[in-house]
Amino acid sequence: MARIQLKLGVNIDHVATLRQARGTTYPSVTDAAAECEAAGCHGITVHLREDRRHIQDADVRALSRVLNVPLNLEMANAAPIVKIALELQPDEVCLVPEKRQELTTEGGLNVTGSKKALRATVQKLAGAGIVVSLFVDPDEPQLLAAAEIGAPYVELHTGRFCDCEGDDAACELDRLIRGAEVAHRAGLRVNAGHGINLSNIGRILEIPHLETLNIGHSIVARAVFTGLRNAVKEMRAAMAPYAGGRSCV
Ligand code: PXP
């Protein structure tokens, strides 16, 4: 089967988590990004949360100056954050839902319920030359709404699949496969992310039409034992067999 290059965007939020835990100046997110680049990552992803619990505005600014690969900024559709994105001009923005109390992003955007607000932001960001994606669950109405408001990309939320086992996982994987097909047929380009690790990546490769996987927590956790460069290389090697996934029956 033909190999298709599946790109890896490394989310380095949790390098900043470690720094913020002590209020130190280390570990440096720009040095971490350089390690990921040296390991062949295709992009760097950071989430500038409204509560600034890990990545800070200065991190985004510094990364946009030094990166040699595209910067993907995850962010809520909130006016002050949109303003920062327009000022800092990341290559890509992924709009995500955000709740203050959550440990991590818990679900996809409610696109059907907030078409007007999302369309306005997609247009603003696209007008500034930023490639926009919407983080969504693999639900047909959400995906069709994403296409309707003119987002070029969706990022399928893989978190639920990654949290399940057995029959539940099989069912969630089928939802992702069906979701990728619906998105592709609707003219959307497809990324995916959340909760992906070396144990579940094999099954993630069954999803069709994927361009980029955004992976963070498991890579930074693995780096504690192997170093960041090796952790990124391991994940790239695990992604290399991608042959376009499978279709649902
Ligand atoms: N994609 C999106 C939209 C996310 O919000 C996150 C978490 O910040 C990720 C990917 C990466 O998830 P994880 O850290 O579980 O690999």
Express each pLDDT in 46-66 by its tens digit: 999 999 999 999 999 999 999
Tokens encoding 44:
């760097």
Which residue segment(s) compose the domain that 95 sits in?
Answer: 7-238
Residue 114 scores a pLDDT above 70 = yes
Let me know if residue 245 belongs to a domain: no
Q: How remote is the CA of residue 7 from the centroid of ligand 1, in Å?
A: 15
Let me know if residue 246 belongs to a domain: no
| Residues acting as catalytic residues | 47, 74, 194
Express each pLDDT in 213-238 by its tens digit: 999 999 999 999 999 999 999 999 99
User: Ligand 1: which of 49, 214, 217 to mutate, most ligand atoms within 8 Å of CB?
Assistant: 214
Split at pLDDT 50, 70, 90, the class of 153 is: very high
Number of domains the chain contains: 1
Greater pLDDT, 241 or 106: 241
Q: How remote is the CA of residue 96 from the centroid of ligand 1, in Å?
A: 10
Let me know if residue 244 belongs to a domain: no
Let me know if residue 33 belongs to a domain: yes
Let me know if residue 247 belongs to a domain: no
Let me know if residue 248 belongs to a domain: no
Residue 100 scores a pLDDT above 80 = no
Q: How far is Cα 40 from Cα 184, in angstroms, rounded to an integer? A: 27
What pLDDT does 141 receive?
Answer: 98
Read off the CATH number of the domain in which 201 is found.
3.20.20.70
Split at pLDDT 50, 70, 90, the class of 106 is: confident
What pLDDT does 137 receive?
Answer: 97
Residue 248 scores a pLDDT above 80 = no
What pLDDT does 154 receive?
Answer: 98
CB of 158 closer than 6 angstroms to any ligand 1 atom: no
User: For the chain, where are the alpha helices, taking DSSP H only?
Assistant: 13-22, 29-38, 57-66, 79-88, 115-127, 140-148, 159-163, 166-185, 201-204, 217-226, 228-239
Q: How remote is the CA of residue 216 from the centroid of ligand 1, in Å?
A: 6
CB of 119 closer than 6 angstroms to any ligand 1 atom: no
**88-102, 148-162, 178-192: least confidently modelled range:** 88-102
Where b means 16+ CB within 10 Å and e means fewer, 102-131 reads eeebebbbebbebeeebbebbeebeeeebb
Atom of ligand 1 nearest to the CA of 196: 16
Express each pLDDT in 63-89 by its tens digit: 999 999 999 999 999 999 999 999 999
Q: How remote is the CA of residue 11 from the centroid of ligand 1, in Å?
A: 7
Q: How far is Cα 238 from Cα 234, in angstroms, rounded to an integer? A: 6
What pLDDT does 89 receive?
Answer: 95
What pLDDT does 1 receive?
Answer: 61
What pLDDT does 177 receive?
Answer: 98
Let me know if residue 178 belongs to a domain: yes
Q: Look at the alpha carbons of 135, 138, 139, 145 in this order and tell me if their dihedral is positive or negative.
A: positive
What pLDDT does 64 receive?
Answer: 96
Contact (Cβ atoms closer than 8 angstroms) between residue 194 and residue 158: yes
